[in-house]
Amino acid sequence: MIYLLNRFFKQLNQQFLMISLVGITLVVVFHSLLSWLLLWLLGEGDLVKPEVYIYYYLTTATTIGYGDYSPVTIWGRLLVAFWVMPGAVALFAAYLGKTTQLVVSWWRRGMQGKGDYSNLADHFLILGWHDDDTARMVELITADAKRAERDIVLCVDDEIENPFPDTVAFVQGRALSDENLLIRAGVKTASRIIIYGQTDDQTLATALAVDALKPKGHIVAHFEDERKGELLNSHCPKVECNTDIAVEMLVRSAEDPGSSRVQTQLLSALSGPTQYSLKVPDHFAGTDFGKLFYYLKEHHNATAFGMAGNVAGTDLILNPKPNTQVNRGQLIYFMAQERITSDEVKWNSFASE
Per-residue pLDDT band for 107 (boundaries 50, 70, 90) equals low
DSSP 65-76: --SSS---SHHH
Angstrom distance (rounded) from CA 158 to CA 66: 54
Beta strands in 96-151 (DSSP E): 124-127
Q: What's the confidence (pLDDT) of residue 106?
A: 66
Neighbours of 2 (CB within 10 A): 6
Residue 62 has pLDDT above 90, yes or no: no
- pLDDT tens-digit series, residues 191-228: 999 999 999 999 999 999 999 999 999 999 999 998 99
Per-residue pLDDT band for 185 (boundaries 50, 70, 90) equals very high
Give me the amino acid identity at 125: L
Per-residue pLDDT band for 85 (boundaries 50, 70, 90) equals confident
Residue 10 has pLDDT above 80, yes or no: no
Residue 254 has pLDDT above 60, yes or no: yes
155 pairs with which residues across the strands? 127, 171
Q: Is the pLDDT higher at 13 or at 277?
A: 277
Where do the domains of the chain lie, and which CATH numbers do they carry? 2-111 (1.10.287.70), 124-244 (3.40.50.720), 272-349 (3.30.70.1450)
Residue 80 has pLDDT above 60, yes or no: yes
Q: What's the confidence (pLDDT) of residue 330?
A: 94
Residue 250 has pLDDT above 70, yes or no: no
Q: Are 59 and 65 in contact (CB under 8 A)?
A: yes
* CA nearest to 344, candidates 273, 293, 279: 279
Q: Are 273 and 285 in contact (CB under 8 A)?
A: no
Q: What's the confidence (pLDDT) of residue 194?
A: 94
The tally of CA atoms less than 13 A away on the side-chain side of residue 120 is 28
* CA nearest to 151, candidates 118, 114, 108: 118
Reduced to 3 states (helix: H, G, I; strand: E, B; else coil), residue 151 is coil
Report yes or no on whether pTM surpasses 0.85: no
* CA nearest to 125, candidates 189, 204, 180: 189
Cα–Cα–Cα angle for 109, 111, 117, nearest 5°? 65
* CA nearest to 35, candidates 48, 23, 26, 46: 48
Angstrom distance (rounded) from CA 308 to CA 290: 15
156 pairs with which residues across the strands? 172
Angstrom distance (rounded) from CA 330 to CA 281: 8
Please report, rounded to a whole number, the percentage of residues in the chain having pLDDT higher than 70: 88
- By DSSP bridging, strand 303-308 and strand 317-318 are antiparallel
Per-residue pLDDT band for 18 (boundaries 50, 70, 90) equals low
Q: What's the confidence (pLDDT) of residue 181?
A: 94
As a whole number, the mean pLDDT across the chain is 86
DSSP 306: E
* CA nearest to 313, candidates 244, 249, 233: 233
* CA nearest to 126, candidates 189, 177, 223, 192: 192
DSSP 179-238: HHHHHHTTTTT-SEEEE--SSHHHHHHHHHHHHHT--SSEEEEEESSHHHHHHHHHH-TT
* CA nearest to 79, candidates 127, 19, 119, 31: 31
Q: What's the confidence (pLDDT) of residue 28?
A: 83
